[in-house]
């Protein structure tokens, strides 16, 4: 945002039928193949051959890949995410996180129970036995978040759960600041690794994702993703870009709409309703290299490749570092963001983060720049959609959810669950097969979204 902020340098639980679909992808039902790891050597992601030239070009520049290697990596990462989701459900309380590494997206899954090793290996993943479950670490981080909501911790810019080290990592300018933060939250020191940090994160605040828009004719931000709420069109962006009632104009300085909802700090998301002069498209601005088509919003794993589009610096790519991170800006603490090594600069705030064809989130803030590199945090898109009852516009946009969804008739389908192509669920007395990967939102019931589900 180029207004005041910039001037300061700004699976819900699956039931049995859903589990069978996910576990089949994870290699946990039926007989094992002769070479379980081969599941990761053949990309199966839908549509990787039709990826945007702009996204591929950015991945080549920032990740040192060829176009074919970029396509292959996205396919591997999509496959690994589906396998990890199945293992997370299967391992239950033992699950201690998953991550991918390398261009082949080698999947590592952690567990607190050594008896799970064979099951993880059979699914084609590398097993690691660790001391703390993901639930235990998430609980410790939540305690830190509660303290930060009352008072932003001085000298502690970032904290997150790190599956690679099986610890909550607290990055602080001074060890004493970190220790005081832990003591106030009552978090056991054994769960935490303290690392020195000189980061001073600020927000990057400066209908197609990545396009510029202006607030009250002055400050500039970037569109995250076009959305709909019933028949009303609009887009999601960063919360620090504007408050409810603030008017917006588009990249062409024409009247566009106004903020309807905004949260910052605490979270960093907002939504803007636009007038009839703006048509939402399932696209992210490729800045001269071909626009990227948005097909869904399935979350990428730690270690996965990810790219960002913003109105200041265009396309830049990197990898997901840690999800569920908390970061302290001058304006306060924001929790639940994802940490990346993608660069960004003022004006990129609110812009699109995408992995392959899957929407990931909107640019929040960070440190560094695109000349020397930096760290950028994004607000995941699915919580924003859920908070405001929005539907992501995709290349096969489903029927808009009703304002007040009717009582569900029963079955295994559940809002909040991540589904992979091929998963079978029940809804009422009927069964449906998933056509494209997505995370289900309230109102996206199988009978209402033929773009996502096929009756079988």
Catalytic residue among 240, 262, 348, 431: 240
Backbone conformation region of residue 17, classed left if phi is above 0, alpha if psi is from -120 to 50, else beta: alpha
**Exposed, middle or buried by CB within 10 Å (0-12, 13-18, 19+), for 54?**
buried
Nearest Cα to Cα of residue 418 among 377, 378, 337, 358: 358
Catalytic residue among 222, 258, 349, 355: 349
Nearest Cα to Cα of residue 160 among 328, 405, 296: 328
Catalytic residue among 116, 206, 211, 268: 268
Angle between the N-to-C axes of helices 67-91 and 53-63, in degrees from 0 to 180, rounded to the nearest 10: 90
Structure tokens that stand for 149 in this block: 């909501």
62 is a catalytic site residue:
no
Nearest Cα to Cα of residue 390 among 264, 246, 247, 224: 224
**Exposed, middle or buried by CB within 10 Å (0-12, 13-18, 19+), for 252?**
exposed
Nearest Cα to Cα of residue 262 among 230, 240, 279: 240
Q: E-assigned strands of 189-267?
A: 192-196, 202-203, 212-215, 219-222, 225-229, 232-237, 247-250, 255-263
89 is a catalytic site residue:
no
132 is a catalytic site residue:
no
Q: Which residues are catalytic?
A: 240, 268, 349
């Amino acid at each position: 945002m180029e207004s005041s902020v910039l001037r300061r340098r700004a699976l819900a639980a699956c039931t049995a039928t859903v589990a069978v679909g996910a576990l089949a992808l994870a290699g946990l039902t039926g007989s094992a193949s002769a070479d379980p790891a081969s599941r990761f050597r053949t990309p199966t992601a839908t549509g990787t051959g039709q990826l945007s030239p702009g996204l591929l070009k950015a991945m080549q520049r920032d990740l040192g890949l060829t176009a074919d290697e970029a396509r292959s990596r996205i396919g591997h990462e999509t496959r690994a995410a589906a396998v990890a989701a199945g293992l997370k459900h299967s391992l239950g309380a033992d699950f201690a996180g998953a991550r991918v590494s390398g261009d082949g997206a080698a999947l590592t899954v952690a567990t607190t129970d050594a008896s799970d090793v064979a099951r993880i290996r059979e699914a084609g993943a590398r097993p690691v036995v660790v001391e703390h479950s993901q639930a235990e670490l998430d609980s410790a981080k939540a305690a830190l978040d509660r303290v930060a909501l009352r008072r932003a911790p001085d000298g502690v810019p970032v904290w997150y759960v790190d599956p690679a080290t099986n610890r909550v990592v607290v990055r602080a300018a001074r060890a004493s600041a970190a220790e005081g933060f832990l003591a106030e939250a009552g978090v056991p020191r054994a769960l935490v690794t303290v690392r020195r940090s000189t980061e001073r994160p600020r927000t990057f605040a400066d209908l197609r994702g990545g396009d510029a828009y202006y607030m009250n004719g002055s400050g500039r931000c970037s569109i995250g993703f076009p959305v709909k709420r019933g028949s009303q069109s609009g887009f999601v962006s960063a919360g620090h870009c504007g408050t409810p009632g603030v008017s917006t104009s588009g990249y062409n300085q024409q009247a566009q709409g106004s903020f309807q909802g905004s949260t910052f700090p605490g979270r960093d998301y907002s939504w803007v309703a636009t007038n009839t002069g703006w048509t939402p498209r399932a696209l992210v601005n490729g800045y001269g290299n071909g626009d990227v088509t948005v097909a869904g919003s399935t979350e990428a794993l730690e270690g996965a490749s990810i790219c960002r589009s913003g109105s200041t610096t265009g396309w830049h790519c990197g990898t997901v570092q840690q999800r569920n991170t908390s970061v302290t800006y001058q304006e306060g603490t924001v929790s639940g963001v994802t940490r990346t090594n993608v660069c960004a600069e003022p004006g990129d705030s609110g812009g699109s983060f995408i992995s392959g064809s899957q929407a990931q989130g909107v640019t929040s803030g960070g440190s560094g720049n695109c000349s020397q590199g930096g760290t950028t945090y994004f607000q995941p898109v699915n919580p924003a959609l859920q908070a405001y009852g929005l539907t992501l516009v995709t290349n096969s946009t489903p029927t808009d959810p009703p304002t007040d969804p009717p009582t569900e008739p029963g079955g295994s389908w559940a809002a909040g669950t991540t589904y992979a192509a091929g998963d079978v669920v029940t809804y009422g007395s009927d069964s449906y097969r998933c056509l494209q990967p997505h995370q289900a939102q309230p109102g996206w019931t199988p009978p209402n979204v033929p773009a996502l589900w096929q009756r079988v």
